[in-house]
Amino acid sequence: MSLEYAILVSLQERAGSGYELARRFDKSIGFFWGASHQQIYRSLKRMVELGWVTGDAVAQEKRPDKKVYRVSEAGAAELARWLAEPADPPTVRNELSVKIRGASYGEVAQVLAEVGRHRRLHAERLAIYRAIEQRDFPDPTRLSGQSLHQFLVLRGGIRTEQSMVDWCDEVIGALEDDSSA
Amino acid sequence: MSLEYAILVSLQERAGSGYELARRFDKSIGFFWGASHQQIYRSLKRMVELGWVTGDAVAQEKRPDKKVYRVSEAGAAELARWLAEPADPPTVRNELSVKIRGASYGEVAQVLAEVGRHRRLHAERLAIYRAIEQRDFPDPTRLSGQSLHQFLVLRGGIRTEQSMVDWCDEVIGALEDDSSA
DNA sequence: CTACTCATGTAATCCGTTACATGATTGT
DNA sequence: ACAATCATGTAACGGATTACATGAGTAG
């Protein structure tokens, strides 16, 4: 049910169409809440039924019409209510850890290669986050309100990716030592 | 589909009943792959149909009978095949981040309290991991094979929880400063 | 002419969560 | 007496993923 609330937050920041929301979930919001366009269209439909958002058709030149969604008063109230609710900590489900734990039942070298691949993926993502940090928040001490909140979420992403890179390095080092011994 | 493979790994380490597996998914394996007893029973049923495991009824004194599951040759082969496959990096879905990003559309103080609660939860989990580390792996330099793999997964948990605690502290500090300003 | 972006959806399937259900034994 | 632990499941629902589907405009 949280996708609806992620959409409410995004639409409060700026009204937009389903397509535009899908783009935002490919970056920005999507860095901490992933969602496909199919999910987004379905959720928007439900949210219109619930009266949380309104969708106005907007004609465009040389482009298909789009429906621009806006948060209603009821939607804003619902978002405020949800923000005050406790969130359950996410269930941990780390496939790579399952593979490492089970490595001795297959080819350790292949699991090791996979850890290397994940290291690269996390390092890439970390580089993206660091670039955003430098571009959008050059002086973090002066931040307040919404931009501070955005910055703090980005900081979470940076910490998570950095810790993944460090862990992959530890795993790679230990497995290499072990296989050469 | 990964639950089946997590079960295969756990059953390779030690054969056991559905109930025993459910206990293991409350700790140990469960620290990086959560699963309820309902899911486990359903998966075991499917895995018997696929021929990946065999279930033998074992009579017990003063306790209900149980079915002890063991990985078959076909199951072992399937596990080895899966271990060589690439794993897609987990989809990020962090509800707390959504709340922080949206904090200004509700009561910031309540979101702040929730971050504090999460900080405590992560600190508790970190303490559990550190205790396991000290108890089971007092001399990590000597580890090899399966016990090394277990240790490395535990290290991932420690790094993840530590980074969450640090992030919560950063968020709490920044939000407190911002509200007092 | 090919591929990509803009724009919106439906349908099938799979996976996870919640609730319901039973029944014996052990400890307080 | 009551709660907890051992032991095993079914059923309903909801959310996510994957595949399918359409159609116009724009850049190479």
> How many Å apart are CA A146 and CA A126, to the nearest integer?
22
pLDDT band at A58 (very low <50, low <70, confident <90, very high): confident
Mean pLDDT score, A49-55:
94
Mean pLDDT score, A16-34:
93
Burial of A79-118, coded b for 16+ CB within 10 Å and e otherwise, reads: beebbeeebeeeebbbbbbbbbbbbbbbebebbbebbeeb
- Say what the pLDDT of residue A63 is: 73
Chain-wide mean pLDDT for chain A?
A: 94
Positions of chain D reached by protein Cβ under 7 A: 6-11, 14-19, 23-26
> How many Å apart are CA B66 and CA B58, to the nearest integer?
5
Q: Using an 8 Å CB-CB cutoff, list chain B residues near A82.
A: 106
- Say what the pLDDT of residue B59 is: 78
Q: Using an 8 Å CB-CB cutoff, list chain B residues near A32.
A: 92-94, 97-98, 101
Instruction: With a cut of 80, say whether residue A33 has pLDDT above it.
Output: yes
Residues paired with B57 in a beta bridge: B67
Strand C contact at CB of residue B63, distance < 7 A: yes
- Say what the pLDDT of residue A64 is: 74
Among chain A residues, CA nearest to B177 = A144
Phi, then psi, of A71 in degrees rounded to 5: -75, 130
Q: Closest to A94 (Cβ–Cβ): which among B12, B33, B144?
A: B33
Task: Using the structure, give the distance in angstroms from the CA atom of A66 to the C1' atom of C7, rounded to a whole number.
Answer: 7
Q: Of chain B residues 25-44, which have a beta carbon within 7 Å of strand C?
A: 34-36, 38-39
- Which pLDDT tens digit goes with each residue over A157-168? 999 999 999 999
> How many Å apart are CA B12 and CA A69, to the nearest integer?
52
Min mean pLDDT across A21-30, A95-104, B60-69, B165-174 is at: B60-69
Point out the nucleotide closest to B39 (alpha carbon to C1′): C16
- Say what the pLDDT of residue B90 is: 85
Strand C contact at CB of residue A41, distance < 7 A: yes
- Say what the pLDDT of residue B158 is: 97
- Which pLDDT tens digit goes with each residue over A146-155? 999 999 999 9
* Contact check, Cβ <8 Å, A101/B149: yes
- Say what the pLDDT of residue B96 is: 97
- Say what the pLDDT of residue A151 is: 97
Q: Provide the angle, in degrees to the nearest 10, between the axes of the packed helices A73-84 and B108-136.
A: 40
Q: pLDDT by residue for chain B (181 residues), tens digit each?
A: 789 999 999 999 999 999 999 999 998 899 999 999 999 999 999 999 999 999 888 877 667 778 899 999 999 999 999 999 999 888 899 999 999 999 999 999 999 999 999 999 999 999 999 999 999 999 999 999 999 999 999 999 999 999 999 999 999 999 999 998 7
- Say what the pLDDT of residue A147 is: 96
Instruction: With a cut of 90, say whether residue A136 has pLDDT above it.
Output: yes
Inform me whether the C-beta atom of residue A27 falls under 8 Å from chain B C-beta atoms: no
**Residue B71 distance to chain A (closest CA, Å):** 11
- Which pLDDT tens digit goes with each residue over B69-86? 999 999 999 999 999 999
Task: Please say whether the beta carbons of B87 and B143 come within 8 A.
Answer: no
- Say what the pLDDT of residue A47 is: 95
- Say what the pLDDT of residue A62 is: 72
Instruction: With a cut of 80, say whether residue A112 has pLDDT above it.
Output: yes
Q: Provide the angle, in degrees to the nearest 10, between the axes of the packed helices B73-84 and B2-13.
A: 120
**What is the CATH T-level fold of the domain B3-84, as seen in this structure?**
Arc Repressor Mutant, subunit A (1.10.10)
Inform me whether the C-beta atom of residue A170 falls under 8 Å from chain B C-beta atoms: yes
Name the token pair of A158: 């940076």
- Say what the pLDDT of residue A13 is: 96
Mean pLDDT score, A75-80:
97
Q: Closest to B87 (Cβ–Cβ): which among A88, A99, A144?
A: A99
**Could you write out the DSSP letters of every residue in B97-130?**
HHHHHTGGGS-HHHHHHHHHHHHHHHHHHHHHHH
Inform me whether the C-beta atom of residue B107 falls under 8 Å from chain A C-beta atoms: yes
* Contact check, Cβ <8 Å, B8/A163: no
pTM over 0.85: yes
- Say what the pLDDT of residue A114 is: 97
**Domain ranges (residues) in chain A:** 3-84, 95-179
Residues with CB under 7 A from strand D: A 1-3, 34-36, 38-39, 62-64; B 17-20, 22-23, 37-38, 41-42, 44-45, 60, 63-67, 91, 93
